[in-house]
């Protein structure tokens, strides 16, 4: 009888999931980003350290001019393959407000690993004023904030894919694929993947814009991919630790549950068959 219920329940939920599917692609006019391959994807996902390091370079040399990353401290860079001295050197490139001196004047000091990446603007108003009224979003959790997961992998938008697609989805002029009657307001740019297609950010990446320390050719797509990997790490720095622990938990639980299954079966053996019941006394 339990199977009977389970089957009906399964049918009912399948029906509902099918309804979800039928409407999965209905919303939004923006193009759906293509899926790229990442070493961080999947159950055994690991951070792609060389790519993340290149992404940091792109962030520091290009993106950081407008985008803050308030929640990431320099000390966290040790997680992506830098040693203590390298982290100290990266932090020291920045200047921070310090205590007041004896005359009440602000002193300045260079950054230390405990400092957080500095914001390019003093406040949001200044950021908007410098960017034609648009506020460049903070990078700390941005990949997570752009990730729309669905029951179906192909209907899902992964944050990294969105970043790569956005970086490479610009058109110099409004293309013929634009929605009918599309008018691009001045100061905005056409992008296939941005909701509404009109984005205030100018195309940020060009081929050979940075010179990668490891000699990788800095194509626009490569830089977009690297910065997406970097932002993905910044949004979810414990991803690898999480998946590694998950594997141990899963293996342990599967063995444990198997034992529990046989224990339960053995305890119930007589009761299940009704061997304790005296039919004459019923």
Question: Which region among 51-59, 88-96, 171-179, 238-246 touches another protein (by CB under 8 A)?
Answer: 238-246
Binders of another protein: how many residues, by CB under 8 A?
A: 60
For another protein, which is the closer residue by CB, 6 or 100?
A: 6
Residue 67 contacts another protein per CB under 8 A: no
CB of 89 or CB of 149, closer to another protein:
149
Helix (H, G, I), strand (E, B) or coil at 157: strand
Report the Cα 227 to chain-centroid distance in Å.
11
Number of helices followed by number of strands (H, E) in the chain: 8, 5
267 binds another protein (CB under 8 A): yes
Which residues within the stretch 23-42 sit at the binding site for another protein (CB under 8 A)?
Answer: 23, 26-27
DSSP 79: G
Question: Given candidates 24, 60, 76, 198, which one binds another protein under the rule CB under 8 A?
Answer: 76
Q: Does 277 bind another protein (CB under 8 A)?
A: yes
Closest CA to 162 of 132, 214, 188, 199: 199
Q: What are the E-state strand segments in the chain? A: 95-100, 106-110, 170-171, 189-191, 198-199
Which residues does 198 contact at the CB level (< 8 Å), separation at least 6?
Answer: 184, 185, 188, 189, 190, 191
Cα–Cα distance measured from residue 181 to residue 107, given in angstroms and rounded to the nearest whole number: 56
Q: In the complex, which residues of this chain contact another protein (CB under 8 A)?
A: 1-2, 5, 8-9, 12-13, 15-16, 19-20, 22-23, 26-27, 43, 70-71, 76, 137-138, 140-142, 144-149, 195, 235, 237-238, 241-243, 245-246, 249-250, 253-254, 256-257, 260-261, 263-264, 267-268, 271, 273-274, 276-279, 281-282
């Amino acid at each position: 009888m339990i199977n009977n219920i389970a089957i009906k329940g399964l049918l009912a939920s399948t029906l509902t999931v099918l309804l979800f599917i039928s409407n999965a692609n209905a919303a939004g006019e923006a193009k759906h980003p293509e899926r790229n391959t990442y070493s961080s994807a999947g159950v055994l996902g690991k951070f792609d350290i060389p790519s993340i390091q290149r992404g940091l370079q792109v962030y520091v040399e290009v993106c950081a001019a407008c985008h803050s990353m308030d929640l990431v401290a320099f000390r966290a860079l040790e997680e992506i393959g830098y040693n203590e001295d390298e982290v100290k050197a990266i932090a020291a490139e920045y200047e921070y407000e310090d205590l007041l001196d004896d005359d009440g004047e602000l002193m300045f000091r260079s950054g230390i690993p405990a400092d957080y990446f500095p914001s390019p603007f003093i406040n949001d108003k200044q950021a908007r004023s410098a960017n034609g009224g648009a506020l460049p979003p903070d990078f700390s959790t941005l990949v997570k904030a752009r990730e729309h997961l669905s029951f179906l992998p192909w209907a899902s938008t992964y944050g990294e894919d969105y970043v790569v697609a956005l970086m490479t989805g610009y058109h110099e002029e409004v293309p013929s694929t634009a929605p009918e009657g599309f008018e691009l307001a001045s100061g905005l740019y056409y992008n296939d993947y941005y909701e509404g297609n009109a984005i205030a950010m100018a195309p940020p990446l060009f081929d050979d814009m940075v010179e990668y320390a490891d000699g990788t050719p800095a194509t626009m797509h490569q830089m977009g991919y690297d910065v997406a990997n970097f932002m993905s790490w910044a949004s979810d720095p414990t991803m690898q630790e999480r998946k590694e622990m998950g594997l141990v938990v899963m293996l342990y639980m599967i063995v444990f549950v198997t034992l529990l299954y046989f224990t339960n079966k053995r305890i119930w053996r007589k009761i299940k068959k009704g061997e304790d019941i005296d039919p004459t006394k019923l």
